[in-house]
Amino acid sequence: MKRTLPLHAKRSLIAIVDDDQSVRDSVGSLLRAAGFEIGLFESAESFLKSDDVGDVTCLILDLRMPGLSGLELQHRLNEMNASIPIIFGTADLDERARTTALGSGAAAYLYKPFTAETLFAAICRALDQRVSSALT
């Protein structure tokens, strides 16, 4: 099913940070097919070193990765005052991590495997929040 995206979504760069290449590839293909620009990163460190950090409008982030975890990346981005909405995607049923992520400003916390519709709904909400906060 082809999804109609809000106008601001068509100008969105979504970064996917996950150490699992199959997750990066499948989520990346899904989002490209829906009309998003995407950036794929195998680690939090590679994302932070990229030139994309300032251009990313939404971040899909794995919780557990070698090196910096997703929560640690979220903390660093908050310290940098980067206003990037974060959608965590994880297979981990760690309620403490979920509470920490959402309490630190994550736009959504999804459990893998999530459906395309669940992901698109989270992205649209995150982008709408970003637009709303930019207007205030």
- Percent of the chain residues topping a pLDDT of 90: 78
Number of domains in the chain: 1
Report whether 16 contacts 56 (CB < 8 A): no
Residues in Cβ contact with 122 at an 8 Å cutoff, skipping those fewer than 6 apart: 87, 107, 108, 110
Give me the chain's average pLDDT, please.
89
Q: Is 67 left (phi over 0), alpha (psi -120 to 50) or beta?
A: left
In a domain, 42, yes or no: yes
Q: Is the pLDDT of residue 1 over 50?
A: no
In a domain, 111, yes or no: yes
In a domain, 112, yes or no: yes
In a domain, 66, yes or no: yes
In a domain, 86, yes or no: yes
In a domain, 2, yes or no: no
For residue 95, the model assigns a pLDDT of 95
Report whether 71 contacts 100 (CB < 8 A): yes
For residue 12, the model assigns a pLDDT of 81
For residue 129, the model assigns a pLDDT of 78
Is the pTM higher than 0.85? The answer reads yes
In a domain, 94, yes or no: yes
CATH of the domain at 74: 3.40.50.2300
In a domain, 1, yes or no: no
7 pLDDT band, cuts 50/70/90, is very low
Residue 97 domain boundaries: 11-135
Q: Is the pLDDT of residue 135 over 60?
A: no
